[in-house]
Structure 1
Amino acid sequence: MTIMTKNHMVVAQNASGRSMNVPVYRFKGEKPGPVVYIQSSIHGAEVQGNVVIYQLIQALKDQQIAGEIILVPNCNPIGTNIKAGEYTLGRFDPVNGTNWNRGYFYDEEKVLAFAETVQDSDDIATIRNDFRHYWAECIAEKLASPWGLGLAQQLNLKLQQLAVNADFVLDLHNGPVSTRHIYIPEYARDAAYQFNFPHCIFIPNKFAGALDEATFCPWWTLQDALTARFGRPFAFGVEGFTLEMGSQEVIQFSEGKVDALSILTYLTQKDVLPASTLEPAGMDRIGVALKDYKTLFTQWGGMVEYCVKPGQKVTRGDTMARVLNIDELDTEAGCFTLEAPCDLIPMLHFPSASVLSGTQLFKVFTNYTYLTTA
């Protein structure tokens, strides 16, 4: 029997002193198994993940579960409510300017200090349990800093406390105008074949503040440290991902069902859903190293027509955008084209037609390879 519970967690207070809460849904199975943590909308405009969690909840009500699944939709209610006209400006803390997804905890020195306490006779289960307890204390210590923390980091650490015991962490995001893609740690490459995501970015053990990195970097670092110390491999099976599921400021229930199915397929492969028979889809899966996931910046400002769509294969020299130069409408320089610098696949592009110089116009796959074909 699977039991669902719901409670609310205070994540912040507004200027009137009122608490801002987020719902926390938990599905607990009778059988032991992995812990899964899934959250959405850490960036306020990235709302599609909430529909994915809704679809997951509908499906999980009828599923046998081994272990526990924790779901936190709309985990950043502050960001969701930062509006300017029809736009949601929920990517940065408006007080401190901090990216809402860059304040999670990681300290390599603390990981290495823990590694020195491990005994050669300790089994994997003991090391996992001890490290989780230790890491939870480190997060709590950071959150209790006597100097205080910025709002974004307070929020991140409270969410990280919910995720600290998870074996699998999924952070649901959206791009500005985007196609589906997923960030996968290099040591968990097999996950590319367990989700139904067409575009996979493999990332190294480098922490930049995001939740997926805050999940896998400590375990990856610990694995490497213990392998070097004892001369044998260690694998703890903890995986963290960022799932990019289309464009921000958009809700699509049918697409949410597609992504929920992809997540359920992954969880089936991880023995979280023992009665499920879901298998990964036969499809084109394209992989790229993070170093080959490039940003195309503008050297100019102007008004832009986007001529290629996210997910479209583009050949070097193809027109990616047409640009209107308002000061030169009466000359040949009034309109010019932006050409692809190499063969590439755009994942996302800037949402507005009005573009300043130095804008991140496109983010693209280069030097990509096919992992599977339909």
Structure 2
Amino acid sequence: MSALHIERSNLKIGEHPTGLPLEVPVITLTGPADGPTVYIQANIHGAEIQGNAVIHHLLEAFKANPPAGKITLVPLANPIGINHKNGEFTLGRFDPVTGVNWNRQYHFDGALLDGFVAELTEASDEAIRQQFRAQLRAQINQRLDNPWGLTVGQNLCLRLQRMAVEADIVLDLHTGPVSARHLYVPSYTRERARHFNIPLNILMPSDFDGALDEACFSPWWQLSERFAAQGRALPVMVDAFTLELGSQEWLNVEDAKQDAAGILNYLQHQGLWSHCADPLPYTLTLQTQYACELSDYKALYSPSGGQVEFLAPLCEPVPAGQPLARLWHFNQLGLTPDNGLYQALALPCNAIPVLHFASASVQQGTELYKVLTNTFAL
């Protein structure tokens, strides 16, 4: 079997106040044959560490069965967020200076599409791919060269995005607060998204809202839509997904094998091992897969403050009217009969709970649960 070439480097994404560099590890694998370009990162949010274990298993699988193409692996993608601690908790979801979500600071300006389609109406698909990728690359570089400078988060995300923009497949590994495994699926990838074998799926439109997956698929999807409006069918040339791999502040290296298995299964269907017949070193246990549209992915907010008892198991259907939680009001002890100390919280429709808040102590307006509604088989 031909060898897999592996390089390890560090990407500078900023500097500490002391002047010491902030760096992110980057592992680049070049396979023995031509194939897709893949970019996989984990831990852009500081408490979401399980994706690093998945990258560990992926690297071992790639060593055992060298894939075609080029793969870039970026564990520990945000050293600032990872080190943002308060006591025993990791707070690294938001930039502590600006308050902006770390995963909402990538860049795409849709004005890039204006005029591009008209100039390349007669060009081949491959020429369009190359020229559009060059335009996206230039847009990121121009943003990085802003004479007014950038925030810490913008600088971090744009340097990561500059690697991701070169890829045909982008996978961003996350976790939720207390969460079941779920997948954000661009609607055009619905059929092949099944290969990840993730039980809960949210189908997304072509909008861009600052996340890495959107920054990678939205430009290509919108390009395809522009060509379609001109009467030409152009495939969406990049797949990008956000994979939510369970709960934050939790690491289980053994459990990470099932997510690595799903990713490898997807990559195998994308042609990374078409050059060889060796079986991949994993066993995939097939899951029942539910899905809903992003507009039907709903949040339940706490109607008042108190202490919440989460009742509904994640990833299991809950019928309308069945309580998801009890909201206790212990401030009423001694003033209210016991049966008045809590209120049951239910939904007006059938739903499948995806995640819930990490703390049992909540304010009015806290997002208690997120659920799939109007579900269907993926």
TM-score by length of 2: 0.95
- How do 1:217-366 residues align onto structure 2 when only pairs under 5 Å count? 217-229=218-230, 231-274=231-274, 275=276, 277=279, 282-330=286-334, 331-332=336-337, 333-366=340-373
C-alpha distance in 1, partners of 2:366/2:256? 30
**What's the C-alpha RMSD, in Å, of the aligned pairs?**
1.3
User: Alignment partner of 2:255: what SS?
Assistant: helix
Distance, in Å, in 2 between the alignment partners of 1:119 and 1:315 is: 51
Instruction: Return the offset for 1:232.
Output: 2.1
One-letter amino acid of the structure 2 residue matched with residue 132 of structure 1: R
Report Cα offsets for 1:35-76 as digits up to 9, x if no partner: 000000010000000000011111111112111111000100
Q: What is the alpha-carbon distance in structure 1 between the residues aligned to residue 96 and residue 287 of structure 2? A: 41
1:146 partner amino acid:
P
Which of 40, 44, 60 aligns to 2:42? It is 40
- Measured after TM superposition, the shift of residue 280 of structure 1 is 6.8
In 2, Cα distance between equivalents of 1:103 and 1:272 = 30
Give the conservation status (yes or no) of the 8 Å contact 1:37–1:170.
Answer: yes
For the residues of structure 2 that align with 1:48 and 1:280, how far apart are their CA atoms? 19
Worse-superposed segment, 305-314 or 351-360: 305-314
Contact 1:321 1:338 in 2 (8 A): yes
Q: Distance in 2 between matches of 1:85 and 1:236?
A: 45
- Secondary structure of 2:258's partner? helix
The residue number in structure 2 matching 1:100 is 102
Contact (CA 8 Å) 2:129, 2:237: kept in 1 or not? no
Describe how 1:174-253 pairs up with structure 2 within 5 A.
174-229=175-230, 231-253=231-253
CA deviation map 1:292-330 (0-9, x unaligned) = 000111110101110112112111111111121132122
CA distance in 2, matches of 1:281, 1:325: 43
Tell me, what secondary structure is at the counterpart of 2:59? Answer: helix
CA distance in 1: counterparts of 2:162 and 2:227, whole angstroms: 25
CA distance in 2, matches of 1:236, 1:210: 18
SS at match of 1:313: coil
- Rounded to whole Å, the distance in 1 between the matches of 2:303 and 2:207 is 29
Question: Which blocks of at least 5 consecutive residues in structure 1 are unaligned?
Answer: none
Amino acid at match of 2:165: V
Task: Give the aligned length.
Answer: 369
Deviation, structure 1 residue 11: 1.0
Contact map agreement 1:194 1:280 (CA 8 A) in 2? no
Higher mean displacement: 110-119 or 274-283: 274-283
Paired residue for 2:172?
171
Deviation at 1:191, TM superposition (A): 2.3
Percent identity over paired residues: 44
Contact 1:198 1:285 in 2 (8 A): yes
Counterpart of 2:163 in structure 1 is 162
- Displacement of 1:14 after TM fit? 1.3
Q: Is the 8 A contact 1:104 1:214 kept in 2?
A: yes
Runs of 4+ in 1 over 6 A off after TM superposition: none
Q: Using the alignment, how far apart are the partners of 1:83 and 1:8 within structure 2?
A: 23
The code of the aligned residue for 1:92 comes to F
**What TM-score do you get using the length of structure 1 for normalisation?**
0.96
Structure 1 letter corresponding to 2:160: L
Which residue in the other structure is 1:82 paired with? Answer: 84
For residues 273 and 357 of structure 1, what CA distance do their matches in structure 2 show? 52
Q: Which AA in structure 2 matches 1:259?
A: D
- What's the CA shift for 1:114? 2.3
CA distance in 2, matches of 1:92, 1:282: 35
